[in-house]
Amino acid sequence: MARSDIPLVSLALVLDAGETSVPPGREGVAVLAGDALQGGTAQRSGIELAEALERLGSGLRVSTGWDATSVTFTCMAERLDEMLSLLSEVVREPTFPPEEVDRVRQQHLAELRRRRMEPTRLADDELKREVFSAKHPYHRPLLGSPESVESLDERSVMSFADERYGPRGGGIVAVGDLSPEQVAELADRHFGGWSGPPSPEEGPPALPERGERSVVVVHRPEAVQSELRIGHVGPPRGTPLEDPLRVANSVLGGAFTSRLNLRLREERGFTYGVRSRLSLRRNGGAFSIGTSVETEVTGAALREAMDVFERFAEEGPTDEELSQARDYLAGVFPLRMETTGQLAARLAELIVFDLPDDHHHGYRERVREVDLARAREAVRTHLDPGRAVVLIVGDADRVLPELESLRLGEVEVRDS
Amino acid sequence: MLSIGFQTHVLGNGLTVILAPDRATPVVAVNLWYGVGSRNERAGRTGFAHLFEHMMFQGSAHVEKGRHFELVERAGGSLNATTWFDRTNYFETVPSHHLDLALWLESDRMGWLLPAMNQEKLDNQRDVVRNERRQRYDNQPYGDWDERLQAMVFPPDHPYHHTVIGSMQDIGSATLEDVEEFFLTYYRPNNAVLTLAGDFQPDDALARVERYFEEIPPGEAVPPVPGRTELDPVIGRTIRDRVEAEVPLPRTYLAARIPPLTEPDFYVADVATSVLAEGRGARLYRRLVREERIANDVLAFAFPLITGRSLLVCWVTGFPGSDPEVLEGALAKEVEGLANVTGREVERALALAETGLVRQIEQLSSRADLLSMNQLHFGDAGRLNTELERLRSVTAADVRSFAERLLGPDNRALLTYLPRKAS
């Protein structure tokens, strides 16, 4: 996509190599491969590679998610040829030196440990564990478990890359101060002969099943705040009611002026902020409400949040709220596609989620067409407070009495 | 050389207006800097500048509580504000046909905030801010690092001794009288810069700005920053602190007192931190993360502050069981080692800085913010266009001299967090 007002190019190379494609026992190998990818190539050591990239004023960012691994960079347009040459080297001829793989593995183990101690991340991880059944991949942390990561080495990483890094199921998007023809020519020069592994045989994605209500407190003695989460499984990306659901979520907790934020922050002063979000991926998704509140108002804040959620699930948005949310989502959309980097990231989604080319182009139109009936249908179909998991990371001794008086269900207390 | 086209105007009430048209996308960024931050707070009122920023979203004479966010979101805009040591900024990006809305909202609270103030709003936002403090400082691993380092590097009578968030007690002590006094002292058009960047026609935009802002009366000159702003260039010794806390991994911070943003040496500091920690080719990453493998992650940056002196901070995070002596020693050694930096390392840092600056300018909101900053702190928005030249003028000899003068043991605060032992 050409954009010529600023001399930058952003490029994203998408590989069909997400964590969901990892065999059992190897959880975390996709992220490990991604993070160790810059450890060295057939032609240069990791240090030489970093030096070469950074002397071009750029650097590669490898991010591995559930559905894909993407390698992205932004550089001055005149550097694109050199950057593509380095990118091609990195993706096609990685060497995964044992000491580099081991180093990154140690970092991942440390990161897993860190996540257990950061209340927000701990709450996010525990919610997923509760919402998704043990046989669904989203049940576990993206990075894997300490046991699985411990068992990985340079051989497991290399064999993962051999099986998954290739042109099939992936692609390149570029945005910036160059014509599509120029980009095509450069891409062909550096990636033209790439064949890669054959397409893996994979069944259709396994969608998660909706569970039952559970109430969990993860005990963090003497915590000054409680992390609150309310959540349940959601539909996959591309689900027929996706747009109405996004509009409805904006009303409930997706915007500053949402019902949840107005009630918990602006009326009650319970929190710095509260949001509800949809994470929709290839193999299903999740809906979740999240906030942190002072320990002593934990019960009161939870009662308010459940009240707002339940009422919304029953009634759906009002006409006025719906029109506000449509205007907001349609309006801010272009603001989030301002830079070449933002545009490239959005276009990469077309590859990852196999969306039609005009998906983003038609987004504002589709949002504006969401009417009350479809918004309510989306709420009815996809929001379900009665089955939502309620999770608190906080001081169990102090929050339990109030929590039990809310009668949300039997409360399970765990150590953090 | 960058070439951002812009005009500067000063209204009769002293409001400086920067207009930087760019018709590429039908969007306009409105950015308003007030020359007030945590440095202006008096004793017993730490955190007030930031609390006040929250009060600016609670409605004004013609805008009901809650309407501000609602109107901007409805217009398809995004908005926020931040409080910092030396300034407070308010900004919204809106589709260009909603420029009037953004201007009206900003002008209503600049001109007519007080009639809408009441105790209930203040009580509510004091709670919100105290929750913000709990969430971001008190309940986060390493959350109080800046509070500790600032107190080590700046003496109690320097305005940077305390953090922007302030103390729990001071936040709770704020009164409506404080709100009124602060507003009348600092939130005046002659202490502000308004920048528009994006899709508008300059004459038309200026007429609109005049219509909304011209009748707001100016205030008196802003009083001097309280406390002692002149400090020795160095701390004078190494100050050490080790704390056991709820942290997952040991981490050592090293801070130094450095010249402020307004001195050429600040650019040297910027390059020095990039040589140390920006990218995988940076020294701390290469040596401590990759080669010696004693660090899990590293970071270094210089605070862009203007009042007397500023602050350079680096950190290394270790692994479970890391020896704090080893982390502290390794970090100090690498920082001192900048005294032998090579030209090649500086070139790498400058190449990264150049792309970084162009990326910042690419986004209208940050372009507007940089123009406001240069105008408020330097009296010249156009200084942004020569920023690359200033960066490129930094040499390896500059970095070596900087390290020798300012990164030695006579100018160092070392703070190490250690995981609390299981009881």
Nearest to A223 among B139, B296, B317 (CB): B139
Q: What DSSP string runs through B45-70?
A: -TTHHHHHHHHTTS-BTTB-TTHHHH
Mean pLDDT of A163-177: 93
Band (B247; pLDDT cuts 50, 70, 90): very high
Residue-range definition of the domain harbouring residue B410:
238-419
pLDDT at B185 over 50: yes
pLDDT digits (tens, 9 = 90+) for B276-298: 999 999 999 999 999 999 999 99
Q: Please answer yes or no on whether B280 and A46 come within 8 Å at the CB atom.
A: yes
Mean pLDDT of A213-221: 95
For residue A216, the surrounding DSSP H or E stretch is: strand A215-219
- Percent of chain A scoring above 90 in pLDDT: 85
Mean pLDDT of A123-150: 94
- B422 or A319, higher pLDDT: A319
Task: Name the residue in chain B with its Cα closest to that of A112.
Answer: B248
CA B8 to chain centroid: 24
Q: Please answer yes or no on whether A106 and B293 come within 8 Å at the CB atom.
A: yes
Task: Name the residue in chain A with its Cα closest to that of B318.
Answer: A110
Print the SS3 string covering A135-188.
CCHHHCCCCCCHHHHHCCCHHHHHHHHHHHCCCCCCEEEEEECCCHHHHHHHHH
Closest of B84, B308, B38, B13 to residue B182, by C-alpha? B38
| Residue A226 to residue B139: CA distance in whole angstroms | 9
| Residue A45 to residue A289: CA distance in whole angstroms | 45
Mean pLDDT of B409-413: 98
Q: Do B251 and B204 fall within a single domain?
A: no
Q: Which among B178, B198, B213 is the end of a domain?
A: B213
Which residue, chain included where needed, has tokens 């747009």? Answer: A243
Q: Please answer yes or no on whether B74 and A58 come within 8 Å at the CB atom.
A: no
pLDDT digits (tens, 9 = 90+) for B224-235: 999 999 999 999
Cβ(B235)–Cβ(B160) below 8 Å = no
Topology of domain A215-415, CATH: Cytochrome Bc1 Complex; Chain A, domain 1 (3.30.830)
Q: Do B200 and B244 fall within a single domain?
A: no
pLDDT digits (tens, 9 = 90+) for A137-159: 899 999 999 999 999 999 999 99
Q: Do B205 and B244 fall within a single domain?
A: no
Q: Do B316 and B359 fall within a single domain?
A: yes
Interior angle at CA B372, CA B370 and CA B373, nearest 5: 65
Cβ(A253)–Cβ(A278) below 8 Å = no
Please write down the long-range contacts of A180-185, taking CB distance under 8 Å and 24 or more positions apart. Answer: A180/A1, A180/A2, A183/A9, A183/A80
Backbone angles phi, psi at A146, to 5 degrees: -55, -40
Nearest to A117 among B247, B290, B297 (CB): B247
pLDDT of residue B358: 93
- Percent of chain B scoring above 70 in pLDDT: 100
Closest of A142, A36, A52 to residue A96, by C-alpha? A36
Mean pLDDT of A350-373: 94
**What would you measure as the largest C-alpha separation in chain B, in angstroms?**
69
ipTM of the complex: 0.89
Closest of A69, A84, A284, A45 to residue A163, by C-alpha? A69
Mean pLDDT of A223-241: 95
- Split into its structural domains, chain B has a count of 2
**What would you measure as the largest C-alpha separation in chain A, in angstroms?**
67
| Residue A42 to residue A61: CA distance in whole angstroms | 19
How many residues can be counted in chain B? 423
Q: Do B209 and B250 fall within a single domain?
A: no
Nearest to B135 among A7, A8, A225 (CB): A225
Secondary structure (3-state) at B290: helix
Cβ(B19)–Cβ(B204) below 8 Å = no
* Residue B138 with chain A: CB contacts under 8 Å: 224-225
pLDDT digits (tens, 9 = 90+) for B62-79: 999 889 999 999 999 999
Q: Please answer yes or no on whether A55 and B348 come within 8 Å at the CB atom.
A: yes
Backbone angles phi, psi at A9, to 5 degrees: -130, 135
pLDDT digits (tens, 9 = 90+) for B387-398: 999 999 999 999
Q: Count CA within 13 A, CB hemisphere, residue A117.
A: 17
Question: Mean pLDDT of all residues in chain B?
Answer: 96
Q: Do B257 and B378 fall within a single domain?
A: yes
Cβ(A229)–Cβ(A388) below 8 Å = no
Mean pLDDT of A91-103: 97
| Residue B332 to residue B314: CA distance in whole angstroms | 10
| Residue B311 to residue B303: CA distance in whole angstroms | 5
Domain ranges of chain A: 8-191, 215-415
Closest of B127, B123, B143 to residue B135, by C-alpha? B143
pLDDT at A204 over 80: no
* Residue B132 with chain A: CB contacts under 8 Å: 272
| Residue B331 to residue B325: CA distance in whole angstroms | 10
Chain A nearest C-alpha distance from B124 (Å):
5
pLDDT digits (tens, 9 = 90+) for B112-170: 999 999 999 999 999 999 999 998 888 889 999 999 999 999 999 999 999 999 999 99
> The domain at A8-191 falls in which architecture?
2-Layer Sandwich (3.30)
pLDDT at B423 over 70: no
Question: Mean pLDDT of all residues in chain A?
Answer: 94
Relative to beta strand A284-294, strand A225-234 is: antiparallel
Question: How many CB contacts within 8 angstroms connect chain A with chain B?
Answer: 176
Which residue, chain included where needed, has tokens 């600016």? Answer: B56
| Residue A59 to residue A87: CA distance in whole angstroms | 10
B226: in domain: no
pLDDT at B380 over 80: yes
pLDDT of residue A205: 65
pLDDT at A99 over 70: yes
Mean pLDDT of A64-69: 96
pLDDT digits (tens, 9 = 90+) for A384-396: 999 999 999 999 9
Chain A nearest C-alpha distance from B330 (Å):
18
Q: Do B159 and B244 fall within a single domain?
A: no
pLDDT of residue A3: 66
pLDDT of residue A210: 82
pLDDT at A322 over 70: yes
- Beta-carbon contacts of A188 under 8 Å, excluding residues fewer than 6 positions away, are none
Nearest to A272 among B77, B128, B280 (CB): B128
Nearest to B66 among A56, A74, A257 (CB): A257
B233: in domain: no
Q: Please answer yes or no on whether B290 and A330 come within 8 Å at the CB atom.
A: no
Task: Name the residue in chain A with its Cα closest to that of B246.
Answer: A117
Q: Do B95 and B180 fall within a single domain?
A: yes
The CATH number assigned to the domain holding B367 equals: 3.30.830.10
pLDDT of residue A4: 63
Question: From the candidates A1, A247, A266, which should be mutated to test the interface with B, based on the most B CB atoms within 10 A?
Answer: A266
Q: Do B125 and B192 fall within a single domain?
A: yes
Nearest to A339 among B135, B136, B362 (CB): B362
Band (B315; pLDDT cuts 50, 70, 90): very high
